[in-house]
Structure 1
Amino acid sequence: MRTVYWTAFWVFLLDQATKWIVVHGMDLVDRMVIDVIPPFLVFRMAWNRGVNFGLLSDFDARWILIGVALAVSAFVLVWVSREGGNRWTYLSAGLLVGGALGNVVDRVLYGAVADFINMSCCGIANPYAFNIADIGVFVGALGLVFFTGRGSGTGRGKTA
């Protein structure tokens, strides 16, 4: 479980540090757009009050989304501690929990999640922005799908 906690800690720290550096340190909050390697990487300020792609942003779901993120994080921690798993399972759980908690802090502090990474390629303009926490949640959830399941764990409660 140490791997889960350390991974979550580093993802959370990286997420919060990059948000502070880009949004406040580079003044993206006022500049709104910073071309880094256009169009492949552009910092574009977006305050996401909803969930992915701005869904549910038309009404104040801040505290509901905070509650859901905390409940999912707690569920994943309990599940992984009971079921066990391999190194990939623990890394995936840590990515998801660290990312979820990073976005929870944003919702508590700002009322919205600070998204700023925008990537486009090959003539396709991506209108959406994301952050390090979003990457952690996505990759962590995907990893839990692929690296958990029948026979993959070393949980205490399993029988052969």
Structure 2
Amino acid sequence: MFRSVKIVLLIIINIAVDQVSKVLVRRNFDLKEQLAILGDIQGDGAKFLMYYVENKGAFLGMGSDMNDTLRIIFLLILPVLVLGYVTYYIFKTKELDKWSLFAFCCIIGGGIANVFDRIVFGEVTDFFYISLGGVFKTGIFNVADMSVTTGLIILIFSNFFGKKKQTEVTT
């Protein structure tokens, strides 16, 4: 019971933080408005910007040019099915280590938050942009994207190091 409550709370926290951040951006920024948090908006150097956009697609706008039917299938129905299965999986699989469980909760929470935006608004609110002076730059993203990405990174490390640990124990 306590495990299930933790799972639900972690997912709800991910959704809530994302949705609150998006409400604040929608209320306080005009569409396409930019605000430099670090660095200069126009400069070539490193910068961290708030840049409010609405994204009809998925990660980095992929799929934004799809017709409405394909967008519904690939950006609503398929993600809901995957999120449903992953949620079922983490509730049923009691052997997950705490890091994998945390990672899956981040992925589910971020995924639900972006699917919610697509259902309610028809698009996803994005507002963060990072550039390290030409060496590295992101697309425009949001808190849900950070949750999903963080979850995936933790899951990869957890599985990589977890399997190594299990191998050491069995040999």
- Offset at residue 147 of structure 1 (A): 2.7
Q: Which has the higher contact order (CA 8 A, sep 6+)?
A: 1
Determine if contact 2:22/2:125 at 8 Å carries over to the other structure.
yes
For 2:50 and 2:136, locate their aligned partners in 1 and report how far apart those are by CA, in whole Å: 14
What is residue 100 of structure 1 aligned with on the other side?
111
- Offset at residue 44 of structure 1 (A): 1.0
Asked if 1:69 corresponds to 2:70, the answer is no
Paired AA for residue 78 in structure 1: Y
Asked if 1:43 corresponds to 2:53, the answer is no
For 1:132 and 1:116, locate their aligned partners in 2 and report how far apart those are by CA, in whole Å: 9
Paired AA for residue 113 in structure 1: V
Paired AA for residue 155 in structure 2: L
More helix by share: 2
Paired AA for residue 126 in structure 2: D
What is residue 34 of structure 2 aligned with on the other side?
33
Equivalent pairs, count: 151
Which ranges of structure 1 fall in alignment gaps of 5 or more residues? 153-160
What is residue 10 of structure 1 aligned with on the other side?
13
Determine if contact 1:117/1:130 at 8 Å carries over to the other structure.
yes
Question: Over aligned residues, Cα RMSD in angstroms?
Answer: 2.4
Determine if contact 1:34/1:43 at 8 Å carries over to the other structure.
yes
What is residue 155 of structure 1 aligned with on the other side?
none
For 2:25 and 2:34, locate their aligned partners in 1 and report how far apart those are by CA, in whole Å: 11
- Offset at residue 125 of structure 1 (A): 7.0
Deviation by residue 1:64-112 (Cα, 9 ceiling, x = unmatched): 2111221121111111222221211221111011101110111112211
For 1:127 and 1:142, locate their aligned partners in 2 and report how far apart those are by CA, in whole Å: 16
Deviation by residue 1:7-63 (Cα, 9 ceiling, x = unmatched): 111110000000111222x1233x621222235221112222112111111123442
For 2:124 and 2:77, locate their aligned partners in 1 and report how far apart those are by CA, in whole Å: 15
For 2:135 and 2:124, locate their aligned partners in 1 and report how far apart those are by CA, in whole Å: 25
Asked if 1:19 corresponds to 2:22, the answer is yes
Determine if contact 2:29/2:52 at 8 Å carries over to the other structure.
no
Identity across matched positions, percent:
25
**SS at structure 2 position matched to 1:28:** coil
Paired AA for residue 131 in structure 1: N
For 1:138 and 1:53, locate their aligned partners in 2 and report how far apart those are by CA, in whole Å: 13
CA 1:76/1:145 → structure 2, altered by over 3 Å: closer, same or farther? farther
Normalising by structure 1, we get a TM-score of 0.81
**SS at structure 2 position matched to 1:56:** coil
Determine if contact 2:103/2:155 at 8 Å carries over to the other structure.
yes
Determine if contact 1:6/1:94 at 8 Å carries over to the other structure.
no
**SS at structure 2 position matched to 1:130:** coil
